[in-house]
């Protein structure tokens, strides 16, 4: 399969959008929501979206694999956000002008501090040597997930830097109807973006793990293809999300041949998420995490407990990722 695009900026909606002045159904305390019109976004048309690869949009948090201190490393998404005063100015301008275009940021003073290790996402624009915010006022970026990092403990649980491995959910290489959780070398994931999903991420819509035994996995972006995607037309997409079993997903991300990524989220179409069982949970999953790949020292670290626990299930087949249970849970 061709190398798919990575998420290095805010992905545009497949339809032109408008802002409605009513509480968001997606974000708490947001007093407006962005909804799709029936007009296809010109960006999608220019990128020939009808020939694009449609993939499942997962509900998690975005991650990135690149080097840190010379070694492959997992990075967590961290957007640089404006200070409260700058954000007030920005929102006031948006309200009065009905657009964010033309607003002037003071790049030296308007943004909150970020760790020294922070890097801007690759597709962020730069002016005068500074990364500049996107239309929503944030500068997308990344921070490295370091070993024993409490702030990013769930990110840290899916990587083992001693062995250079990550826990990845992906289609089985010999059976596309089957999923597998496998330990994959971080070096094979370099320069890819992935979605971290699991027990403590975004309310866990996929039902992974439990409070006693949390389970988190990385899913490479674009790896879960939508087999029977509807045409890019508002009513057909709306019906597909409501009526198709395959449509029980958070959204679709189209990977265009020119590298452009385009998305649609159920909320753009006024649809609820999650809404019943998910399509991801309709697929059986096998665990392939081999304990022999780790030395005893690497498994003694508390952050690597998930590797050890999953290795005890290696070779077992489950009806879905939600059904993965550990001995203590039975």
Q: Quick one: 200 and 155 in the same domain?
A: yes
| The pLDDT of residue 302 | 46
* Dihedral sign computed on CA atoms, order 23, 27, 33, 38: negative
Closest by CA to 232, choosing from 20, 53, 33, is: 53
DSSP letter, residue 223? -
| The pLDDT of residue 156 | 96
Q: Quick one: 178 and 298 in the same domain?
A: yes
* 23 part of a folded domain: yes
Q: Which residue has the tokens 């607003």?
A: 103
**Tokens matching residue 328:** 């203590």
* 91 part of a folded domain: no
CA distance 93 to 263: 27
**Tokens matching residue 50:** 């009808």
Do the Cβ atoms of 192 and 220 come closer than 8 Å?
yes
CA distance 256 to 53: 6
Give pLDDT tens digits along the chain (330 positions).
345 678 887 899 999 988 776 665 555 445 557 789 999 999 999 999 999 999 999 999 999 999 999 999 999 999 999 999 999 998 888 777 777 778 889 888 999 999 999 999 998 988 888 898 988 889 999 999 998 889 999 999 999 999 999 999 999 999 989 999 999 999 999 999 999 999 999 999 999 999 999 999 999 999 999 999 999 999 999 999 999 999 999 999 999 999 999 999 999 999 999 999 999 999 999 999 987 665 555 555 544 589 999 999 999 999 999 999 886 554
Structure pTM?
A: 0.91
Q: Quick one: 2 and 46 in the same domain?
A: yes
Domain with 194 in it: 61-75+146-223+284-329
CA distance 26 to 258: 30
CA distance 147 to 153: 9
Report how many domains make up the chain: 2
């Amino acid at each position: 399969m061709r190398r798919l695009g990575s998420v290095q900026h805010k992905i545009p909606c497949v339809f032109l959008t408008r802002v409605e002045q009513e509480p968001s159904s997606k974000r708490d305390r947001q007093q407006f929501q962005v909804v799709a019109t029936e007009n296809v976004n010109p960006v999608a048309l220019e990128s020939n979206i009808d020939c694009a690869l449609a993939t499942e949009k997962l509900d998690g948090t975005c991650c990135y694999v690149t080097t840190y201190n010379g070694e492959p490393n997992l990075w967590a998404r961290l957007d640089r956000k404006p200070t409260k005063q700058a954000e007030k100015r920005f929102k006031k301008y948006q309200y009065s002008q009905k657009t964010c275009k033309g607003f002037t940021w003071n790049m030296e003073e308007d943004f909150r501090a970020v760790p020294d290790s922070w890097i801007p996402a690759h597709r962020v624009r730069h002016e005068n040597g500074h990364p500049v915010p996107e239309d929503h006022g944030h500068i997308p970026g990344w921070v490295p997930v370091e070993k024993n990092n409490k702030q990013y403990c769930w990110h840290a649980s899916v990587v083992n830097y001693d062995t250079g491995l990550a826990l990845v959910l992906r289609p089985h290489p010999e059976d596309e109807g089957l999923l597998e959780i496998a330990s994959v070398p971080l070096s094979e994931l370099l320069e890819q973006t992935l979605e971290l999903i699991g027990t403590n991420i975004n309310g866990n819509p996929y039902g992974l793990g439990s409070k006693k035994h949390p389970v988190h996995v990385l899913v490479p972006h674009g790896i879960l293809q939508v087999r029977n995607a509807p045409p890019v037309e508002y009513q057909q997409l709306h019906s597909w999300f409501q009526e198709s079993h395959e449509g029980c997903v958070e959204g679709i991300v189209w990977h265009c041949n020119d590298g452009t990524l385009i998305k649609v989220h159920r909320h753009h179409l006024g649809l609820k998420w999650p809404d019943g069982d998910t399509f991801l949970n309709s697929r059986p999953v096998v665990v392939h995490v081999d304990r022999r790949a780790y030395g005893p020292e690497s498994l003694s670290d508390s952050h690597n407990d998930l590797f050890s626990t999953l290795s005890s299930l290696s070779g077992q087949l489950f009806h879905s990722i939600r059904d993965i249970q550990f001995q203590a849970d039975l």
